[in-house]
Amino acid sequence: MLAKAETLIEALPYFQRYAGCTFVVKYGGHAMGDPEAAKDFAQDIVLLKAVGINPVVVHGGGPQIGAMLKKLGVESTFVDGLRVTDKATAEIAEMVLSGAINKELVGWIAAAGGKALGISGKDGGLVTARKVTRTTKDPDSNIEQAIDLGFVGEPARIDTTILETANKAGIIPIVAPIAAGEDGHTYNINADTMAGAIAAAIGAARLFLLTDVTGVLDKQGKLLTDLTPADIAKLKADGTVAGGMIPKLDTCVQAVEAGCEAAVVLDGRVGHAMLLEFFTSRGAGTLIRKGE
């Protein structure tokens, strides 16, 4: 009994310090597979809200989109290892992200006793997308060539009104990484990128990125517990971080440079990962802070 009381008291300074603050939490597509972990995650979010913190959840869904494309027999083309999002793929991405996954999370929040609002970047003009332009270098001639990834976007403009309105009403926003472009087309945005842009725009105190690894790992696979933007630049340059970890760390850098106190990459497969990370003196993931 005493241990329980001590655990709660240990969390008290955190409750006091962060009441009224906004936390942006990205729940990764790869971390979402397990219903038990999803339940724990939803309880953590509802607890944050109950102690006066305003969580905003942004979710991914890459693996689920891949599975649905396969089920429906929609073939994808790849350029440089990146999936080209043609019109059919964008429609399926919206269906899976804004439909299935978003509403499933809303349901988990309700089951944990919270109230959630499932939206995408389209709703309330939250995010307006611009088409992503990527280039590749031809190894022979060294000439840069533009690659067309189709309807892949990045946030161009953000209006956080809908999030603030929901927060004030005691409702937790759950955001799918889909947005309309100025051209009216539907764009799929990397969920990490979307979460970082929202965190910066709303002035979040913390950014949590829940994924399927214990954190950022070094070349030997050992967990790196603390990183600064300068460390991250080095890890990118020497190839220690690759793939989906790149947009995650870019997002962390963007968030801390925009004034977010800290960003954390942590293992969403572990039950109550976020709670343990936040309400105890030191969690288990990678903490990113602006260096001195």
The residue (of 166 and 195) whose beta carbon lies closer to ligand ADP is: 195
- ∠ Cα 191 148 78 (to 5°): 75
The residue (of 120 and 167) whose beta carbon lies closer to Mg ion is: 120
Site for ligand ADP in 208-247 (CB under 6 A): 211-213, 216-217, 240-245
Cα end-to-end distance, the chain, whole Å: 41
DSSP 269: T
Burial class (CB in 10 A: 0-12, 13-18, 19+), 262: middle
Pairing of strands 22-27, 127-131: unpaired
Q: Binding partner of residue 245 among ligand ADP, Mg ion, none, CB under 5 to 8 Å per kind? A: ligand ADP
* CB 154, min distance to Mg ion, A: 14
Q: Is 145 within 8 Å of 151 (Cβ atoms)?
A: no
Q: Is 129 within 8 Å of 181 (Cβ atoms)?
A: yes
* CB 215, min distance to ligand ADP, A: 7
Q: Binding partner of residue 177 among Mg ion, ligand ADP, none, CB under 5 to 8 Å per kind? A: none
**Residue 31 binds ligand ADP (CB under 6 A):** yes
Size of the site for ligand ADP (CB under 6 A): 18
Residue whose tokens read 């299935």: 100
Q: Binding partner of residue 213 among ligand ADP, Mg ion, none, CB under 5 to 8 Å per kind? A: ligand ADP
**Residue 284 binds ligand ADP (CB under 6 A):** no
**Residue 62 binds ligand ADP (CB under 6 A):** yes
Coil, helix or strand for 19? coil
Contact set with ligand ADP (CB under 6 A): 28-31, 60, 62, 192, 211-213, 216-217, 240-245
